[in-house]
Structure 1
Amino acid sequence: MKILVIPTTDWLRHPVPNRLNFIFDILAEEHAIYVLNFHLKQFDGLPARTTRCTLVDGDAFSPAGLSSHYLLNGPAHLKKIREVVKREKIDLILSSNILPSLVANFAGVPVVFDYLDHLEESAAIYYPDSFVGTVVRTGVAVLSHFNLKRARAVITVTEVFKQYLQTLGVKDVTVIPNGVDTTLLHPVPKEVAKQNLGFSGPVIGYLGSLEYWIDLETVVKALPSLPDVTLMIVGPGLFTDYGETIQHLAADLGVTERVQFMGSVPYAELSGYLSAMDIGLNPRKPMKMNEYTVGGKVFNYLSCGIPVLSSRTEALEQLLPTEITYYDDQQGFITAVQSLLKDPGDAEQHRAVAERFDWHTLAATYADVLKRVAEKKK
């Protein structure tokens, strides 16, 4: 197959690779994969990842704002998409973006939409409690629903998302969850990992972007009741000041020394950081985008053999009802941390759960959906 991928963000320089990076680098071993690459100004200067895919540069402008980038480049994206489709004889387009997906509908080939997030809510979260956020949410909802209904097929990450999409009238929906590269993320002896990073004593850790849909407030507020515990935060702040908010909260509670920000870490080096954690955290605020989806960090923790403690969300509890531990409030979090530090469970069993969600297995299922759509076209 010849596939044009329209990703969610900068393919090479976004500090956190997402599912499309993993899946299509695997599929590129057997198929011709072209990627419409966005040069987002926020990531200028960050190191570029390697990829097996062929990149297609479609931007004409490089404004500072995320929304303005896609708005200003809409005509250029449409021109480049149609040019590549014609020149390379593309069989189908796989898209997961909002405005570029809109113009992709007019490229003359089938579109499969990867709905990996509750887009209207995740787009508006960058403008918290503002009129702009309301406008963005409404606009993204209209565009997303149009793209979903025009798509030949939709792939999403959870059964809860599938049910939501069906209420919108989307009929052809396949669930392919997020996953992990278990060959890259693997257990490192815990004491060695802690020593390498300068930690001693119990460590609870968060991996991921620092944004307002994360609930690190509950975690930091619990630290005074967990006097020997250090919180390690691995990941960048991308578009908001949420990391600064957490730093201020830690200072107010007198636990600054026990909240360690490690910054962005390359995926291939994460094993040494995750293995230093005694517990991996998935703290989420109660909102639709968190209830409906399951991110990859849960599988990253499990792949390194560490137990996972998560706020209770509908989609995750449906996917992993007994394999991880859940909490409902601050006291429940404290109790669960104390319990898991005493009995973290079997590292091999945690690893076995992750192996069920290896990207190579998921990529094969993904390819089956794309082949079905491409064959219908023929």
Structure 2
Amino acid sequence: MWRYKRFERHWTKGADRLLTVAAEAERHYVRDCAVPPTDVTVVGNTVSVEAFDPATPPAPAVDGDSFVVGYVGSFGPHRGLETALRGIAAVESGPPEVRLLLVGDHDCPVGRRLRELAADLGVEDRVTFAGRVPFDDVPAYMAACDVCLVPHDRTPHDPRRPCRTSFTSTWRWRDRSWSRTSLR
């Protein structure tokens, strides 16, 4: 690990500019790699709402009568998907039945552990592992969800600290259209 850190410090100092998608990474580069703050730019890893047409029909990934909790993204160890599975197990089902839809490449060690955990928790019949889908199909999978979540349990930029995600607003799919809801 120390070699990686040394190479990281060397290459980040020599860069004209650093782009990152997370403020935690920006703080890491400034604090741990001695990169001047003016040389780091955070470009949010967010979705263009315009890409989501309210007329998009939901993907047929789950039963239409279920309450669907969804996740779209990578299956890294810091994503907190174990928490989502445990949450589904803790919720008494239906009606409506509560289901978890996981969209992303689950053919990896974390995905295999998640499948085992779903079986151990007895919820494999309420969890759909949709796998990786083409980017153009993502809006349909999100339209199939009643709520989407980002259950990060820690950040890879500072694994000593738990991720304290705070949501100030969310986009909600309701009555066939997206609306922004403030949570403040």
Distance 2:11 2:150 in 1: 30
Relative distance call for 1:185 and 1:259 in structure 2 (3 A) is same
Verify: 1:242 aligned to 2:106, yes or no. no
Name 2:58's counterpart in structure 1.
Answer: 193
Extract unaligned runs of 5+ from structure 2: none
- More strand per residue: 2
Name 1:64's counterpart in structure 2.
Answer: none
Instruction: Give 1:187 deviation, angstroms.
Output: 3.2
Q: Secondary structure of the equivalent of 1:144?
A: helix
Instruction: Give 1:283 deviation, angstroms.
Output: 1.5
Distance 2:87 2:48 in 1: 32
Once the two structures are superposed, residues 310-351 of structure 1 have per-residue CA deviations (whole angstroms, 9 ceiling, x without a partner) of: xx834x53xxx51149xxxxxxxxxxxxxx9xx9xx93225x
8 A Cα contact 2:62 2:101, kept in partner:
no
Q: Secondary structure of the equivalent of 1:170?
A: coil
Instruction: Give 1:243 deviation, angstroms.
Output: 1.1
Relative distance call for 1:141 and 1:188 in structure 2 (3 A) is farther
Verify: 1:149 aligned to 2:13, yes or no. yes
Give TM-score scaled by structure 1 length.
Answer: 0.40
Aligned pair partner of 2:102 in 233, 236, 239: 233
Distance 2:22 2:154 in 1: 17
Name 1:209's counterpart in structure 2.
Answer: 74
Instruction: Give 1:290 deviation, angstroms.
Output: 7.1
Identity %: 26
Instruction: Give 1:221 deviation, angstroms.
Output: 1.4
Give TM-score scaled by structure 2 length.
Answer: 0.77
Name 1:159's counterpart in structure 2.
Answer: 23
Aligned pair partner of 2:45 in 178, 199, 212: 178
Larger RCO, structure (CA 8 Å, separation 6 or more): 2
Q: How many corresponding residue pairs?
A: 169
Distance 1:202 1:242 in 2: 25
Aligned pair partner of 1:262 in 92, 107, 130: 130
- More helix per residue: 1
8 A Cα contact 1:156 1:162, kept in partner:
yes
Once the two structures are superposed, residues 255-287 of structure 1 have per-residue CA deviations (whole angstroms, 9 ceiling, x without a partner) of: 110011111110011111111101111122324
Distance 2:90 2:154 in 1: 23
Extract unaligned runs of 5+ from structure 1: 1-136, 292-311, 326-339, 353-378
Q: What RMSD in Å do the two structures reach over aligned CA positions?
A: 2.9
Q: Secondary structure of the equivalent of 1:203?
A: strand
8 A Cα contact 1:185 1:268, kept in partner:
no
Amino acid of the residue matched to residue 131 of structure 2? G
Name 1:284's counterpart in structure 2.
Answer: 152
Q: Secondary structure of the equivalent of 1:347?
A: strand
Aligned pair partner of 2:163 in 298, 304, 313: 313
